[in-house]
Amino acid sequence: MFEHPSLAARPVYLDHNATTPVDPRVAAAMHTALTGDFGNPSSAHAYGEAPRLLLARAREQVAALVGAHSREMVLTASGTEADALAIRGAVLARAGSMFGRPHVVTQVTEHPAVLAACAYLHRWHDVAVSYLDVDRRGRLDPGHVRAALTPSTVLVTVMHANNETGTLQPIADIAEVCRSRGVLLHTDAAQSVGKLPVDVDDLGVDLLTLVGHKMYAPKGVGALYVRDGVRLEPLLGGGGQERGLRAGTESVGLAVALGAAADLSGRALATGEAARLAALRDQLHTELAYRLPGRVHLHGHPTHRLPNTLNIRVDGVSGPDLLAAAPDVAASTGPACHNQDHRPSSGLLALGLSRQLAAGAVRLSVGRWTTPQAIGTASAALAQAAALGPGPEALPPRSVAVPPGPSLPGQDGDWTDIPRVRAAARRRAS
């Protein structure tokens, strides 16, 4: 397996929950769309035909990844926009036909985009919002959702996978509760789509957010699944693009990139990618626990979690200090949107951790180009940074079997001109 050109001769990248490198195959598909078919997909003449077909194909690919129909996918510029369209759009679409004050249910460890959308509704539209607690492993009890519902509840919004700990929520069980009361359910699945199989019918959701840069597409593109029959008030008015739910001329290049990324993710999952990621995650945990005996503690659920995510603390060292002392590892102490803020994560505090313990958290997330050798390098560097443990010597043989990584094109050197362009840019900078 070839190393990704963006990762060569650089620190071991273990921050895939923050963002992923663009897959060269995705970049190639996007480049073709940008340079070959520039027309407006809404144009009736010949220049609009090819972009329109590309847009339709991309929508089909994204829909297929989550088991939806293409007409149910709304393309957006980000996961944040998709969350806002789902939450604000669903509530405002129903609010005008209701008596009394609309009500939304969410939980305390949600992504800031969800919490911001709920806060907006409360501030500007007097919507009541209930914030439910999670247990010490980060899971929400569906029974607590049932108890929180009122006759005025319009929407429940609960993330599929936590962006810090990787803990998976019992979305299908929550969906049953919502259906029994006629309440819409939205889930932010930005972290789970592409890392494990996700099907909207299996989950039972009405609205689902996904985002490109978490699954090897560029930043600036996401999508919202909207189940047939669900009404939304659009955030942006104007043209009739995206079935009237998202005005603005579509970026065909970004849509093609998202579609290509979705297709590649589906293929990878079908050939065991989730198991490969889980094996690497567990290898990292095993090696760190061996090198730092008794000092490594897991945050989040030990089994109901993303296959790629390991959130731990190491006794005796804070998360920021640990990573600062391990420059050969690129990881984070929490969400990228808050990573310059070294205060303990509110999401970890919600698990019942003290501020001191939460300040020790480090999030390590593996991805498509992570190898067992990289895991060994990273575990040695982190152990040395913690200034304790056996050090970087080889470990005894482990029983963890890591399946081979994804088969990628380019073994004959066909990686486009990305490395050459980057090398030239570095020369100019120096």
What CATH number is attached to the domain comprising 391? 3.90.1150.10
Q: 101 with 138, same domain? A: yes
Give me the domain span that covers residue 323.
12-21+272-421
Q: Choose one of 215, 247, 269: the last residue of a domain.
A: 269
Residue 96, pLDDT > 60, answer yes
Task: Count CA atoms within 13 Å of residue 420 on its CB side.
Answer: 5
Within a domain: 429 = no
Within a domain: 6 = no
How many domains does one find in the chain?
A: 2
Q: 388 with 241, same domain? A: no
Q: 349 with 404, same domain? A: yes
* H or E segment to which residue 239 belongs: none
Residues 399-430 as b/e (b if ≥16 CB within 10 A, e otherwise) read ebebeebbebeeeeeebeeeeeeeeeeeeeee
Residue 142, pLDDT > 80, answer yes
Active-site residue, from 53, 337, 387, 425: 337
Within a domain: 426 = no
Q: 300 with 173, same domain? A: no
| pLDDT in the model for residue 343 | 79
Within a domain: 430 = no
| pLDDT tens per residue across span 41-50 | 999 999 999 9
Residue 391, pLDDT > 50, answer no
Q: 251 with 281, same domain? A: no
| pLDDT tens per residue across span 309-319 | 999 999 999 99
Q: 261 with 279, same domain? A: no
Residue 63, pLDDT > 90, answer yes
Q: Choose one of 215, 245, 269: the last residue of a domain.
A: 269
Q: Do residues 75 and 59 touch, judged by C-beta distance below 8 A?
A: yes
| pLDDT in the model for residue 283 | 98
Q: 52 with 195, same domain? A: yes
Residue with tokens 């209701």: 98
Q: 282 with 232, same domain? A: no
Of 213, 215, 179, 276, the C-alpha closest to 66 is 215
Within a domain: 293 = yes
Using alpha carbons, list the distances in angstroms from residue 155 to 1, 129, 133, 205, 245: 45, 10, 17, 11, 18
> Which residues does 236 contact at the CB level (< 8 Å), separation at least 6?
246, 247, 248
Q: Choose one of 219, 245, 269: the last residue of a domain.
A: 269
Within a domain: 94 = yes
Within a domain: 146 = yes
- Known catalytic membership, residue 178: no
Within a domain: 7 = no
Q: 217 with 328, same domain? A: no
> Which of 19-28, 289-298, 419-428 is the least confident region?
419-428
From CA 370, how far away is CA 14, in angstroms rounded? 8
Report residue 1's pLDDT band, with 50, 70 and 90 as the boundaries.
low
Q: 248 with 328, same domain? A: no
Of 158, 164, 137, the C-alpha closest to 146 is 158
181: domain CATH number is 3.40.640.10
Q: 29 with 74, same domain? A: yes
Residue 52, pLDDT > 50, answer yes
In the three-class reduction of DSSP (H, G, I as helix; E, B as strand; rest coil), residue 330 is classed as: strand
pTM listed for this prediction = 0.90
pLDDT, mean of residues 91-118: 93
| pLDDT in the model for residue 403 | 52
Residue 324, pLDDT > 80, answer yes
Q: 117 with 196, same domain? A: yes
Q: Do residues 13 and 367 touch, judged by C-beta distance below 8 A?
A: yes
